[in-house]
Structure 1
Amino acid sequence: MGLLHKLRVVVWDEPPPTKAERRLVQKVDFFVLTYVCLMYWVNYLDRSNLNNAYVSGAREDLGFKGTQLNQITTIFYGGYLLGQIPNNLIMQKVPPRIWLPVTCLAWGFLTLGTAFTHHPWEIMVIRFFQGFFEASCFVGVQWILGSWYRPEEIGKRTAIFTSSGLAGSMFSGLMQGAIYKNLNGASGLAGWRWLFVIDFLITLPIAVYGLLCFPDTPTSTRARYLSHEERVLAVERLPEVSRKRGVLGFSLIKRVVLSWHWWAFVLLWVACSNTEMYSSNGIMQLWLKSTKDFSIEQVNYIPTAVSGMGIVATLVLGWYSDWNTSRRWHVGVLLSFTAIISGALMLSAPTRAARFAALILNGIQYSGQTVMFAWANDLIRGDDAKRSVVLASMNMFSAAVYLFWSLLFYNATQAPDWYEGNIAMMTMGGFLLLCTLGTLMLQKRQERSEGVPGGRHGSYDQYLEKKDVGDDDKA
């Protein structure tokens, strides 16, 4: 029994001390985690389908020229950027159980519209609004997870959540290959058009499921499957929040901008997210297409290895960050080196196998989505509104850099070598290392000023019982 208990702790952390809390966590895992994972899965499915469609006939059918594919990606991230903070602030007033499913439904209908476009400019318009509504998903869910789970629980759940998005990318490639083979020309629609239709049909029931079952936050939930006692326990089991959901106003700006959390975590995520560039720009698909040695099905199937690598790395490093909450910075250091290595291999690949290795290795960078947001969630638990804005700002500013970074260094006309992009990848890897160490130093300074015994690991829970964590701004 002792061995089984230790194994359980390693895989899924220490079980809650009471039967009531264990039952509560099981319900939260089922209703919260299942919906956010399904939503993020279909989010990535609807987002990554354009790269798959592009190499499966859309380029020729719609007459794409030059960097138009990259322009569409840039426009998408323009909408994505503009939607970050508004979406999270809306959830301070509108129940997340309504807003998240509604935005899911909105981007689903926009995905359907893409199936019936005839010019690249039409896709540009659609993708802008799709980006705005999709902005609600990632940072909104990061805030939701931080509202339901304890510090030692959140890393694993965030890992599962972000892995579901990578599974969406993987499934999109597999699905497009199968659609092209079996549905190309059916009912007069090209195979790439069927991809968007089927994606919509998958999105619709997931949005409905969210409207029916998603429980909101612990302080506002009205879920019938949670008893009154469980609702009270959901609030009491978490560190105390001194500034609760909905506390906005001018003071929020001061609490955010004058704290080190905003500056440090924004820079950290700008650096980390932009080391995903090979993967998020579909570089492997474009490279395989340019060689003319692979079939349409292979061009869609082979890049799923990148997402597979991302899923494995995300789960492993997410588990590690929960097992050792005081050393989440280790992951930032690791990702800085893997970015530099993948960039160096792409810059001077001696063989085709080396290029495959570099592009698949870059899938590891996706794990930063889990650990960096878990790190931020953990340090800003005392202020719901501030935590919401910081998480949204992290993604907003990373998208702002993405807007020009993608066009400058990873556009389709630079295939198949992306020389400038390889140098940019190594440079961003070095910047990530500096940001990781800088954030660690600021965290240690805050802990010393607040007298946190033994850092944030182990004894931090006892510290929270004695001190109002809402004054974390003073650092």
Structure 2
Amino acid sequence: MASSGYPFPEEPAGDLEARKRAKDGEIVKATWKGRLWDTFDLPPLERKLLFKVDAVMLTFASLGYFLKNLDQQNINSAFLSGMKEDLGMHGNELVTAVTIWTVGYVIGQIPSNMLLTRFEARLVIPALELGWGIATLGSYAVKNYQALYALRFLVGLFESGFYPGIHYLLGSWYTPRELGKRAMIFWLAGSLGNMFSGFLQAAAYRNLNGVHGLAGWRWLFIIDAIITLPIALAGFVFFPSAPLQDKKAWWLSEDQHELSKTRLQNIGRAGRTPWTKARIKTLLRSWHTYVLPMLYVIWNNGGGQSAMGYWLKSFNDPVNPPVPGKTYSVEDINQLPLPTKGIFIISAIAYAWLSDGPFHGRRWPFIYLNGAIAVVIGIIFVKLDLYANIKKTMILYWFQDFGSGAGPLILTWINEICSDDTEKRALLVAAGNDFAYVLQSIVPNFVWKTTDFPEARIGWTYSTAMNALLIVWTTLILLLLKRDEKKAFKSASVASIDAGIEDPDEKGIYTPQTSEQSALSPLQKV
């Protein structure tokens, strides 16, 4: 059997002493079960610890993100199921409601994540879910679209902190051999929420329309709230706070709590520290602050839009059919694009398992792969005659999102690079998602115009350019990390010589470092 050290020698370490502890960690034999799920290869106490954390934190996070996306999307389903007529939304009111939700979502993300560095997560995260659940419930009773606007702002505001907050908290519990998989599972749960909203509305309209005098679209908001609110309340009881800075979760033993802290200290994670003028200056002068969030912004805005439905529908054009005699039914238009999502999910899962496992926590190879595949696909779509070979075009659409699942690994990488500064981790994870959403809410209106589909050549050109930039930006980060690595070891060598010691690693010297110097292991994995 092959064996690997735990923690991995390449994992982020906050200082030289932490690297030494990591190298001296317990040796764990790698088994086929451990390659499927990492906890199988761990010692009993650690395996039990992670089983509990996964069962409580990861389950709550995934359910919460599923519900967040469900509650976020329900307005579109409701609009198509009678809300438009009942509230007199015959103009641009739906777009306005979505925009108002976006305003709340954008302004709440960074403040919410910073709250997590000062207050216990077991209070903050469930409170967010409780807030958007109550606002969703209130939406069933609105009498006009102005009231809907107010509630959509509150839904956006409370939902804003959930996604970046959970990513920050995953980085506060898991090591690099575990973090990528959990981040990916959490992210993919949101995709299920997007898909499920339409099914839920169809069921609500079919079975509840008119019950107790309420329209089917009103029941959609009620059902969403009925699912959301109990889970939010359960979060106050079960959801854990960050082990390095808050109280022990009641469902952990004292030994398990101490182990959770030791695991994180061995890889250089840090708990909360006071804000000072010096810290703020350091943060503002750090390249991390300006470069790392942009990596997620670029990735988030580089994906192609779902154009296959437009392409299938174009065959039914009664005036200028692209292929006379060839048509697709409404059922075909709804079902034929489904393999795209399935292929995307499979590739995203493969990214996470490979990154945590055989690649020992390396994130950057999959960001490169994401960019390279997307560039190739974008170039093909820019040049492609969509109707020359229908079968090949359909297969290309199915694979258009193949390999584009690097987003959670990017936020994981930010978590690891900023490992020794919890406030910086919280800030930059939130900033990446926040700025990505701002750009995403503006740019598609100009490059992915509905009137340009199904060809959308401007959109595919934009996608190609963004993914080329993703490759360049990843390279920039690797070069900056390499520069900081050289600086750190040069400083350590000078300090060792001054102290009359030849090898700081062998003597177990602790050398204080900045976060740029401490999270060097992402480069050591090159």
| Pairing of 1:312-461 with structure 2 (within 5 A) | 312-323=346-357, 324-325=359-360, 327-344=362-379, 347=382, 348=384, 350-351=386-387, 360-364=398-402, 367-410=405-448, 418-451=456-489
CA contact (8 A) 1:70 1:411 kept: no
Query: In the aligned structure 1, how far is the partner of 2:145 from the partner of 2:310?
Result: 18
TM-score (norm: length of structure 1): 0.84
Partner of 2:24: none
1:12-33 Cα distance to aligned partner (Å, 9 max, x none) = 2375653222221221111211
TM-score (norm: length of structure 2): 0.76
Partner of 1:459: none
| CA apart distance, 1:371 | 0.8
Alpha-carbon distance change, 198 to 262 in structure 1, aligned in 2, over 3 angstroms: same
Partner of 1:457: none
Alpha-carbon distance change, 468 to 71 in structure 1, aligned in 2, over 3 angstroms: farther
Partner of 2:274: 247
1:387-435 Cα distance to aligned partner (Å, 9 max, x none) = 1111111112112212311333346566555454333222222222222
Partner of 1:237: 263
- From 168, 180, 185, the counterpart of 1:155: 180
Alpha-carbon distance change, 225 to 426 in structure 1, aligned in 2, over 3 angstroms: same
Query: In the aligned structure 1, how far is the partner of 2:64 from the partner of 2:421?
Result: 26
| Pairing of 1:60-209 with structure 2 (within 5 A) | 69-117=94-142, 122-209=147-234
CA contact (8 A) 1:271 1:428 kept: yes
| CA apart distance, 1:436 | 1.9
Higher mean C-alpha displacement, 37-46 vs 352-361: 352-361
Query: In the aligned structure 2, how far is the partner of 1:338 from the partner of 1:380?
Result: 28
Higher mean C-alpha displacement, 44-53 vs 404-413: 404-413
Query: In the aligned structure 1, how far is the partner of 2:396 from the partner of 2:85?
Result: 29
Alpha-carbon distance change, 406 to 194 in structure 1, aligned in 2, over 3 angstroms: farther
Secondary structure of the residue aligned to 2:60 is: helix
Alpha-carbon distance change, 441 to 181 in structure 1, aligned in 2, over 3 angstroms: farther
Partner of 2:325: none
Alpha-carbon distance change, 423 to 17 in structure 1, aligned in 2, over 3 angstroms: closer
| CA apart distance, 1:192 | 3.7
Q: Supply the RMSD in Å over aligned alpha carbons.
A: 3.5
| CA apart distance, 1:276 | 3.8
Q: Does 1:37 align with 2:62?
A: yes
Higher mean C-alpha displacement, 167-176 vs 78-87: 167-176
* Partner amino acid, structure 2, of 1:313: S
Higher mean C-alpha displacement, 325-334 vs 26-35: 325-334
Query: In the aligned structure 1, how far is the partner of 2:78 from the partner of 2:202?
Result: 10
CA contact (8 A) 1:32 1:214 kept: yes
Larger radius of gyration: 2
* Partner amino acid, structure 1, of 2:375: I
CA contact (8 A) 2:308 2:454 kept: no
Query: In the aligned structure 2, how far is the partner of 1:286 from the partner of 1:68?
Result: 24
Partner of 1:473: 516
CA contact (8 A) 1:71 1:407 kept: no
1:259-281 Cα distance to aligned partner (Å, 9 max, x none) = 222222211111111124626xx
| CA apart distance, 1:39 | 1.1
Query: In the aligned structure 1, how far is the partner of 2:456 from the partner of 2:221?
Result: 29
| Pairing of 1:15-54 with structure 2 (within 5 A) | 15=40, 18-54=43-79
- From 289, 296, 300, the counterpart of 1:273: 300
Q: Percent identity at matched positions?
A: 32
Alpha-carbon distance change, 448 to 63 in structure 1, aligned in 2, over 3 angstroms: farther
- From 283, 290, 296, the counterpart of 1:256: 283
Query: In the aligned structure 2, how far is the partner of 1:107 from the partner of 1:298?
Result: 35
| CA apart distance, 1:353 | 6.0
Larger helix proportion, structure 1 or 2?
Answer: 1
Query: In the aligned structure 2, how far is the partner of 1:358 from the partner of 1:131?
Result: 35
Alpha-carbon distance change, 406 to 191 in structure 1, aligned in 2, over 3 angstroms: farther
* Partner amino acid, structure 2, of 1:114: S
Segments of structure 2 that go 5 or more residues without pairing to the other structure are 4-28, 318-327, 491-504, 519-526
Alpha-carbon distance change, 129 to 287 in structure 1, aligned in 2, over 3 angstroms: farther
Query: In the aligned structure 2, how far is the partner of 1:113 from the partner of 1:84?
Result: 23
CA contact (8 A) 2:87 2:144 kept: yes
Secondary structure of the residue aligned to 2:264 is: coil
CA contact (8 A) 2:420 2:515 kept: yes
Aligned residues: 461
Q: Does 1:7 align with 2:32?
A: yes
CA contact (8 A) 2:373 2:403 kept: yes
CA contact (8 A) 1:169 1:307 kept: no
1:5-51 Cα distance to aligned partner (Å, 9 max, x none) = 52123212375653222221221111211111111111111123334
Higher mean C-alpha displacement, 63-72 vs 17-26: 63-72
Query: In the aligned structure 2, how far is the partner of 1:123 from the partner of 1:417?
Result: 36
1:112-140 Cα distance to aligned partner (Å, 9 max, x none) = 33344465555444333222211211111
* Partner amino acid, structure 2, of 1:473: E
Query: In the aligned structure 2, how far is the partner of 1:277 from the partner of 1:105?
Result: 34
| CA apart distance, 1:284 | 6.3
Alpha-carbon distance change, 299 to 199 in structure 1, aligned in 2, over 3 angstroms: farther
1:177-200 Cα distance to aligned partner (Å, 9 max, x none) = 434444445444444443322211
CA contact (8 A) 1:70 1:406 kept: no
Alpha-carbon distance change, 369 to 376 in structure 1, aligned in 2, over 3 angstroms: same
Secondary structure of the residue aligned to 2:31 is: helix
* Partner amino acid, structure 2, of 1:76: W
Higher mean C-alpha displacement, 2-11 vs 259-268: 2-11
Higher mean C-alpha displacement, 334-343 vs 144-153: 334-343
Query: In the aligned structure 2, how far is the partner of 1:414 from the partner of 1:154?
Result: 40
Query: In the aligned structure 2, how far is the partner of 1:2 from the partner of 1:148?
Result: 27
* Partner amino acid, structure 1, of 2:466: M
Query: In the aligned structure 1, how far is the partner of 2:400 from the partner of 2:301?
Result: 11
Alpha-carbon distance change, 68 to 438 in structure 1, aligned in 2, over 3 angstroms: farther
Query: In the aligned structure 2, how far is the partner of 1:190 from the partner of 1:436?
Result: 50
Query: In the aligned structure 2, how far is the partner of 1:306 from the partner of 1:405?
Result: 23
